[in-house]
């Protein structure tokens, strides 16, 4: 049986592949054929075809068949397609997992992960079920135990690629108050983000429930971006555009990044060891960050041009 990774070999195991945008990842109920069809035309970076919270108990098996058919049909272009299964402690979870293994999805999203051993078990089950190596695991981080064990969970298996915050469940499980500033959740958000970054994982912020509250949603997107999240999980198509714009570099940021790189290259060509730009010292870390901004902007430009392909 595969054991959880030690931190010593974690860097090798989690050397990230080419980065893909995850600014906007939209949940779509697996029992709603129209919603899943609509996902093919939305400008989101990814879709989560949901068999868990969005599907009633008596519709679970029908929804599973519908999700598998939707994935097999394709047509999602550059959008990442993720299948959220039911927990393995439910009557449907084990069958969901086996079905997902050969579904053609990019990843499976597993709810209520609370320990590294659970991901090790899931990885083993996927391999037994014939899952290809490129099928990734996304882990819902939504329990107090997950918060306390986030570091170990992050290093559990190389198949793990994304943490997804389950903020609604965290509020419920901790008894915390839901507030616009999310102060009561800040420890949970920060601990999980640190664990994700230590293991070179992507991490997505939780959903915003008040669909009609545009200003509140945008403010929470900005907060998530500033904390360091890669993007946000969404519950309605109307949220996609704001998430996309918030989690993408602004034009001014791109232009500044280009100036930083140009100033660095010019100074290096002249043999100078000190670089200044607009009265500020430029160090290697600033140049590295600038190059990342430019590379990400290029990836987004390419994705926007091929999303519907």
Neighbours of 3 (CB within 10 A): 10
DSSP-assigned letters across all residues of 183-234: GGGHHHHHHHHHHHHHTT-EEEE-----TT-HHHHHHHHHHHHHHT-SEEEE
Residues 98 and 114 in one domain: yes
- Under the banding of pLDDT at 50, 70 and 90, the label for residue 101 is very high
Whole-number percent of the chain with pLDDT over 90 = 74
* Residue 2: inside a domain: no
Furthest-apart CA pair in the chain: how many Å?
A: 71
Residues 13 and 107 in one domain: yes
In the chain, helix, strand, coil percent, each to 5?
Answer: 50, 15, 35
Give pLDDT, residue 296.
Answer: 86
Residues 99 and 157 in one domain: yes
Residues 90 and 212 in one domain: yes
The CA-atom distances, in angstroms, between 57 and each of 30, 52, 83, 92, 98 are 12, 9, 17, 9, 19
Residues 199 and 264 in one domain: no
pLDDT above 70 (res 238): yes
Q: What is the DSSP code (8-state) at residue 239? A: G
Residues 289 and 207 in one domain: no
Give pLDDT, residue 306.
Answer: 57
pLDDT above 80 (res 42): yes
Residues 175 and 292 in one domain: no
Q: For 61-74, what is the mean pLDDT?
A: 97
Give pLDDT, residue 268.
Answer: 82
- Under the banding of pLDDT at 50, 70 and 90, the label for residue 11 is very low
Residues 146 and 203 in one domain: yes
Q: Mean pLDDT lowest for which of 2-6, 72-76, 100-104, 174-178?
A: 2-6
pLDDT above 80 (res 61): yes
Q: For 236-256, what is the mean pLDDT?
A: 94
> What angle (nearest 5°) sits at the alpha carbon of residue 234, between those of residues 228 and 240?
90
Q: What is the pLDDT of residues 131-141, one digit of tens each?
A: 999 999 999 99
For residue 164, the cross-strand partners are 140, 204
Domain count, the chain: 2
Q: What is the pLDDT of residues 260-309, one digit of tens each?
A: 888 888 888 888 777 888 878 888 888 888 898 888 888 888 877 655 44
More confident call, 17 vs 180:
180
Backbone torsion region of residue 265, taken as left when φ is above 0, otherwise alpha when ψ lies between -120 and 50, otherwise beta: alpha
Q: What is the pLDDT of residues 156-204, one digit of tens each?
A: 999 999 999 999 999 999 999 999 999 999 999 999 999 999 999 999 9
Six-digit token string for 241: 């555009």
* Residue 1: inside a domain: no
Give pLDDT, residue 16.
Answer: 42
Range of the domain at 189: 7-246
Domain boundary among the residues 231, 246, 261 is at 246
Find the helix or strand (DSSP H, E) in which 291 lies.
Answer: helix 284-306
Q: What is the DSSP code (8-state) at residue 134? A: T
Domain boundary among the residues 246, 268, 293 is at 246
Burial category of 49 from C-beta neighbours within 10 Å (exposed 0-12, middle 13-18, buried 19 and up) = buried
Give pLDDT, residue 307.
Answer: 53
């Amino acid at each position: 049986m595969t054991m959880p990774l030690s931190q010593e070999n974690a860097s090798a195991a989690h050397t990230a592949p080419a980065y893909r945008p995850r600014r906007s990842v939209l949940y779509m109920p697996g029992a709603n054929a129209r919603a899943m069809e609509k996902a093919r035309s939305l400008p989101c970076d990814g879709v989560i075809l949901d068999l868990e919270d969005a599907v009633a108990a008596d519709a679970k098996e029908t929804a599973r068949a519908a999700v598998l058919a939707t994935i097999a049909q394709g047509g999602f272009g550059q959008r990442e397609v993720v299948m959220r299964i039911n927990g393995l402690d439910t009557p449907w979870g084990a069958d969901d997992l086996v079905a997902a293994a050969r579904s053609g999805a990019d990843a499976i999203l597993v709810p209520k992960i609370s320990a590294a051993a659970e991901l090790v078990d899931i990885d083993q089950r996927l391999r037994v079920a014939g899952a290809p190596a490129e099928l990734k695991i996304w882990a819902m981080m939504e329990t107090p135990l997950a918060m306390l064990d986030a570091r170990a969970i992050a290093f559990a298996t190389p198949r793990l690629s994304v943490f997804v915050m389950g903020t609604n469940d965290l509020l419920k499980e901790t008894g915390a108050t839901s507030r616009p500033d999310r102060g009561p959740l800040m420890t949970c958000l920060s601990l999980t983000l640190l664990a994700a970054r230590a293991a070179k994982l992507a991490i997505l912020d939780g959903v915003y429930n008040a669909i009609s509250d545009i200003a509140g949603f945008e403010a929470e997107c900005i907060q998530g971006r500033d904390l360091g999240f890669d993007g946000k999980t969404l519950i309605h198509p109307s949220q996609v555009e704001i998430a996309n714009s918030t989690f993408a570099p602004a034009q001014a940021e791109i232009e500044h990044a280009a100036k930083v790189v140009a100033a660095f290259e010019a100074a290096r060509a002249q043999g100078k060891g000190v670089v200044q730009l607009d009265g500020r010292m430029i160090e290697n870390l600033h140049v590295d960050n600038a190059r990342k901004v430019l590379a990400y902007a290029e990836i987004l430009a390419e994705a926007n041009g091929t999303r519907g392909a």
